[in-house]
Structures are given as C-alpha cells and as structure tokens.
Amino acid sequence: KNLKKYFPVKGGILNRTKAEVKAVDDISFAINPGETLSLVGESGCGKSTTGRAVLRLEEPTDGEITFNGEDFRSLSKSELRDKRKDMQIIFQDPYASLNPRQKVKQILDEAMAIQGVVPKKDRPARIRELMDVVGMRPHQAERYPHEFSGGQRQRIGIARALSVDPKLIVCDEAVSALDVSTQAQVLNLLRDLQRKYDLTYLFISHDLGVVRHISDRVAVMYLGKIVEIADKKSLFDSPRHPYTRALLSAIPVPDPDEKSERIVIEGDVPSPMDPPSGCRFHTRCPFATDICKQEDPELRKTGDMADDHQAACHHMEEIVAQYGTTPTLPE
C-alpha cells in the first residue's frame, strides 16, 4: 500500500546535484492467495523494483507491506530471514544465481539448510522429489549448473525456490531468456506447480504474450506508477488506459490478413528522474489535454461500471465512449 522506492543519484557538474530516481512511486495493489498477478510494462517502469521491494530485498522508501495479515515491514532482520521461506524469487538468468562450483544437490541442500526447513537426514529424499516435480531426473542432481540448458537451469531455479515450501513466488522475467517452446514448457510447469502447492505468483514480464498465458490479473506499469489493473480477460479485451491500448496494439497479430491499426507511441520513455508533471503519460498520449499536464490521475473504476477494472486516466470515459473498448483505435 502506497509503496515507494526512490534511489538517490548524483548528477550535474562535479556530481554535486542530488537527485532521485522514483523507480516506484506510490503504488498499491493486493495479490490474492493462489492467483497470479502480473506486472507488465516497458523496461525501467519499476516492475522489478516493485517485486524486490515487496520481498524487502530492496528496502522500500515508504509504504506498507502486509503478508498474510502481518505487517511485513516492521519485521527485524532475523524475523525477516525466518519469513524468507514463505517468499521466494526466481530470476531471468538462473545461471547467475546458481553457484557454478556446487552440484545441483548441494544447491538445493544449502537452500533447505539456510531456512532450516528439512532435517539433514531427510534432504536427499527431498532433493529426489524436487527434481521429479520440476520434470528432471534424480541423478541430474549430481551435475553442475553449466551442464544444463537454459530451460533446465530455470527448472533448477524453480526447484530451489520450492525447496523451502514457499507461499509466494516472485517470478522476475523468469522465462524471458528462453526460446519460445521452452518458455511454454516452463510456464506450464509453473502453472502445474501452482495448482499442486497452492502457490501465489507475482509475475513480472515485459512480454504481453507470456502475461496473457499465465495471469489471473494484470497490472500495467508506466514510469513507476500502476496505470491500469484488472482481471486478465477484461484487460486484454477492453483496456481503458491509452498506454495499455498502445501496448496491446503493438502485439504482433498472428493472422496477417486480420487488419489492426497499430498505435505508435511517439517518443521515448521519459526519465524516471524527472518524470512529466500530472499524468506521466501525457508527453506521449494522443488524448492529452491541459488537465493531464497538471493533475496526476488516480486509479479508479470507469464511470458507473461495476467491475473491478481500474485505470488512471482523466479521459477514459470519453475515450471509451468514442472508441469503445477494443484494443485498437482508428487512425
């Protein structure tokens, strides 16, 4: 709730100017047990920082984090270490986070030892079981990370996260480095594991195709803010924020005969060090008016629509009235 993460930076002549990058700037959202909430947006929008701040791998600058009804931000370092087993993270590049000098079985054993979750004598059996649940052969635990493909290494990363029996897993671009068919396999694995172990995912990705496959709900981020949040179907079928429309219309259309007008977002993403006033999207939005430059729009429902779909745009009612809620817009 009201989560912020600002990074101090030095700049200007002789590095004397102090400034801040507002990587995450006052966002609020809830993740329901057992669901997958995706955070999507272009690189630099703050989605990874949000994932890390939620786990306190990065201390938030401000805001509240509640986990299972407990105030997660007030936990001391040692309490936090204890709670780590409930919340795990999987990275884009598992290779970078797997110790190259350890065999897979040592990597898994160490994860369990640090969290004290499985007695030493039971760990070999647990390691065999973990290899099996992520679709690998038990004897492969005798090998080193470099002996595996990217997809297999991601399975090992998943096994390590699962070894401590977590409730929430943050998946930060977890399949982004994989080729498309391996992506699908790992996404299916994540979905199977979710059902089997009642896992909750915060799924971070820049890839809307992947997000469409895995999510229950989706939050779209732009320059440190959530600009739209809704269940997947509602978001993909009837986006309400101009930025979401632009993102969706940029997805390649599989059928080349199917005509779709693309919205080209003009310009580059502005610097998060000096974000635009008012609505941060106003420098690139085709619908921007004066109020957009002055007032930061709140995340809210559209008009009198009774759904849980929320967007942050001053003009969404007019845009929906004029263009409907299909992702594409006329030229």
Which residues have a Cβ under 8 Å from the Cβ of 303 and sit 6 or more positions away? Answer: 317, 320
Nearer to Mg ion, 88 or 115 (CB): 88
State the residue number with the nearest CB to Mg ion: 48
Q: Minimum distance between the CB of residue 19 and ligand SF4, rounded to whole angstroms?
A: 24
Q: From Mg ion, ligand SF4, none, which one binds at residue 222 (CB under 5 to 8 Å depending on kind)?
A: none
Which bin fits 37, alpha (ψ -120 to 50), beta or left (φ > 0)?
beta
Q: From Mg ion, ligand SF4, none, which one binds at residue 213 (CB under 5 to 8 Å depending on kind)?
A: none
Q: From ligand SF4, Mg ion, none, which one binds at residue 152 (CB under 5 to 8 Å depending on kind)?
A: none
Q: Minimum distance between the CB of residue 21 and ligand SF4, rounded to whole angstroms?
A: 21
**Could you give the CA distance from residue 230 to residue 325 in angstroms, rounded to a whole number?**
14
Nearer to ligand SF4, 85 or 241 (CB): 241
Q: Minimum distance between the CB of residue 53 and ligand SF4, rounded to whole angstroms?
A: 25
Q: From Mg ion, ligand SF4, none, which one binds at residue 203 (CB under 5 to 8 Å depending on kind)?
A: none
Q: Minimum distance between the CB of residue 182 and ligand SF4, rounded to whole angstroms?
A: 36
Nearer to ligand SF4, 140 or 328 (CB): 328
Q: Minimum distance between the CB of residue 116 and Mg ion, rounded to whole angstroms?
A: 31
Q: Minimum distance between the CB of residue 90 and Mg ion, rounded to whole angstroms?
A: 13
Q: From ligand SF4, Mg ion, none, which one binds at residue 281 (CB under 5 to 8 Å depending on kind)?
A: ligand SF4
**Could you give the CA distance from residue 296 to residue 276 in angstroms, rounded to a whole number?**
10
Q: From Mg ion, ligand SF4, none, which one binds at residue 48 (CB under 5 to 8 Å depending on kind)?
A: Mg ion
Q: Are 324 and 237 in contact (CB under 8 A)?
A: no
Residue 248 backbone phi and psi in degrees, to 5: -65, -35
**Could you give the CA distance from residue 43 to residue 55 in angstroms, rounded to a whole number?**
20
What residues make contact with ligand SF4 under the rule CB under 6 A?
241-242, 279, 281-282, 285, 287-288, 292, 297, 313-315
Nearer to ligand SF4, 72 or 222 (CB): 222
What residues make contact with Mg ion under the rule CB under 5 A?
48
Q: Are 231 and 29 in contact (CB under 8 A)?
A: no
Q: From Mg ion, ligand SF4, none, which one binds at residue 285 (CB under 5 to 8 Å depending on kind)?
A: ligand SF4
Nearer to ligand SF4, 51 or 242 (CB): 242
Query: Which residues pair with residue 221 across a beta bridge?
Result: 226
Nearer to Mg ion, 90 or 141 (CB): 90
Residue 291's CB: how many other CB atoms inside 10 A? 13
Q: Minimum distance between the CB of residue 296 and ligand SF4, rounded to whole angstroms?
A: 9
Residue 212 backbone phi and psi in degrees, to 5: -65, -35
Q: Tell me the one-letter amino acid at 6.
A: Y
Q: Minimum distance between the CB of residue 1 and Mg ion, rounded to whole angstroms?
A: 22
Nearer to ligand SF4, 165 or 296 (CB): 296
**Could you give the CA distance from residue 4 to residue 22 in angstroms, rounded to a whole number?**
8
Which residues have a Cβ under 8 Å from the Cβ of 142 and sit 6 or more positions away? Answer: 103, 104, 105
Nearer to ligand SF4, 201 or 281 (CB): 281
- Dihedral through CA 64, CA 3, CA 206, CA 227, nearest 10? 120
**Could you give the CA distance from residue 93 to residue 154 in angstroms, rounded to a whole number?**
8
213 token code pair? 């496959």
Write the DSSP string, 77-96.
HHHHHHHGGGEEEE-S-HHH
